[in-house]
Amino acid sequence: MAVATVAALLAALGGALWLAARRFVGPSVKRLHRGGDSGLMHGKTVLITGANSGLGRATAAELLRLGARVIMGCRDRTRAEEAAVQLRREICQAGGPELGPDSSGAGELVVKELDLASLRSVRSFCQEEEPRLDVLINNAGIFQCPYMKTEDGFEMQFGVNHLGHFLLTNLLLGLLKSSAPSRIVVVTSKLYKYGDINFEDLNSEQNYNKRFCYSRSKLANILFTRELARRLEGTNVTVNVLHPGMVRTNLGRHIHIPLLVKPLFNLVTWAFFKTPLEGAQTSIYLASSPEVEGVSGKYFGDCKEEELLPKAMDESVAGKLWDVSEVMVGILK
Ligand SMILES: NC(=O)C1=CN([C@@H]2O[C@H](COP(=O)(O)OP(=O)(O)OC[C@H]3O[C@@H](n4cnc5c(N)ncnc54)[C@H](OP(=O)(O)O)[C@@H]3O)[C@@H](O)[C@H]2O)C=CC1
Ligand SMILES: CC1=C(/C=C/C(C)=C/C=C/C(C)=C/C=O)C(C)(C)CCC1
C-alpha cells in the first residue's frame, strides 16, 4: 500500500515536472522584436479588431511599442478603455532604452466602438474620418457559442468571424488603397480543416453544430483572404492569413468545463498552450516585417508560410462566397 502511494506521488511529481519543463523549454515561438526595432511602425496607423483581449491585446501592445498609432476596434467601450489604460501603464513601466525614459518612442492608443455582430455598428465605425490606414488586422472572434444570431439575423460565429469583417474590410478598402503600401492581416484557425461552406444553410437554421460553424467561419476567413488578394493585385495592398496555434486566451469562454476538471484543464493549457504574446507573433510579423513586403494571398503559422488543404484554395467556392457575402451584408453594387 505504502509502495503504491509513493509510486503514485512520484508519478504525479514527475508529470508536473515534465509539464513545467515543456512550458519553459517547449515549442514557444521566439519574440520577433526585442528592442532595436523601435520606430519600425512610427507614422503608421493600425486597426485591430478585438484588441481588448488575448491575441488582439498582445498585438496592440507590441505594435504600440514599435511606434504605431493603434486603433482598438472593440464592442465594449468600458472593457476596451480598461485594456488601453493597462497597456499604456505597461509600456511606461517597461520603458527600455529604445523608448526613452518617458516611453516617448511608443505610439498612440485610440479606442473606438465596433461591434462585428451589427452591420449598423460596422458602418458607423467606418464613417468616422481617418486620414490613413496602413494595417487592418481582422482579429476578433467568437468560438463555439450556443446558437445565437447577430443583429442582422446571421448565425453568430459566421456573422462575427466572417461577415462583420467582410463588410469592415470592404468599407475600408478605399482608405487602405489611398494609404498604400498597406496590409490586411486575417486571423484564422487550423480548425478550418473541419469546416465546409454549405451555401444552402449559411445561417445554420436547419442544423446547428457549434464546432462545425466555428470551423466554417475560419475556412471562410481563408477563402476571403485568397479572393481579396486576387482582387487587390496591382494595388500595393496585400492581404495574408495566419493561424496563431493554441493560445491561452478568453476564447474558450463558451466551453463549460466541470469545476472538478478545471484545475487539470488549466494545468494542461498552461503547459501546452502559447501565451498571448507568443501567439501574436505571426500577426505582428505580417503587420510589421519588411520580410513580407509585397507578399499576398498566403497562409502563415509561426511566422512561416504553410500549405493549405485544397478546400481552402478552391477559387470557385471563394468567388461564390464573396458574391453571397456581398448580398448578405448589402454591398452589392
Ligand atoms: N486562442 C486560440 O487558441 C486561437 C485563437 N484563434 C483566433 O484568434 C482570434 C483572437 O481570439 P483570442 O484572442 O484567442 O480570443 P479572446 O476571446 O481573448 O479575444 C477575442 C476578441 O474578439 C472580440 N469580439 C468577440 N465578438 C465580437 C464582436 N461581436 N464585435 C467585436 N469584437 C468581438 C472580443 O471582445 P470581448 O472581450 O468584448 O468579448 C475579444 O476582444 C480569433 O479570431 C480566434 O478565432 C485561432 C486559433 C486559436
Ligand atoms: C485556458 C482555459 C480556457 C481556454 C480555452 C481556449 C483558449 C480555447 C482555445 C481554442 C482554440 C484552440 C481555438 C482554435 O481556433 C477555458 C476553456 C476557458 C477554461 C479555462 C482555461
Distance 251 CA to ligand 2 centre (A): 6
pLDDT per residue over 141-160, tens digit each? 999 999 999 999 999 999 99
What was the ipTM of the complex prediction? Answer: 0.96
Residue ranges per structural domain of the chain: 38-329
Contact by Cβ (8 Å): 109, 87? yes
Nearest CA to ligand 2 atom 11: 246
CA nearest to 231, candidates 223, 243, 242: 223
Give the three cell numbers for residue 276: 498571448
Q: Which residues line ligand 1 at a C-beta cut-off of 6 Å?
A: 49-50, 52-56, 74-76, 79, 114-117, 139-143, 160, 187, 189, 243-244, 246-247, 249-251
pLDDT at 155: 98
Give the three cell numbers for residue 3: 509502495
Ligand lying closest to the C-alpha of residue 222? 1
Rg (CA), the chain: 21
Distance 289 CA to ligand 1 centre (A): 23
pLDDT per residue over 279-328, tens digit each? 999 999 999 999 999 999 999 999 999 999 999 999 999 999 999 999 99
Q: Which ligand 2 atom minimizes the distance to the CA of 270? A: 1
pLDDT per residue over 112-132, tens digit each? 999 999 999 999 999 999 999
Q: Which ligand 1 atom minimizes the distance to the CA of 118? A: 29
What global pTM score does this model have? 0.92
CA nearest to 151, candidates 127, 138, 167, 137: 167
pLDDT per residue over 71-102, tens digit each? 999 999 999 999 999 999 998 887 665 565 55
| SS3 of 243-299 | ECCCECCHHHHHCCCCCCCHHHHHHHHHHHCECHHHHCHHHHHHHHCHHHCCCCCCE
CA nearest to 250, candidates 92, 22, 74: 74
d(CA 244, CA 276): 9
Across the chain, what does the average pLDDT equal? 92
Q: Which residues are identified as catalytic? A: 214
Q: Any idea which architecture 38-329 has in CATH?
A: 3-Layer(aba) Sandwich (3.40)
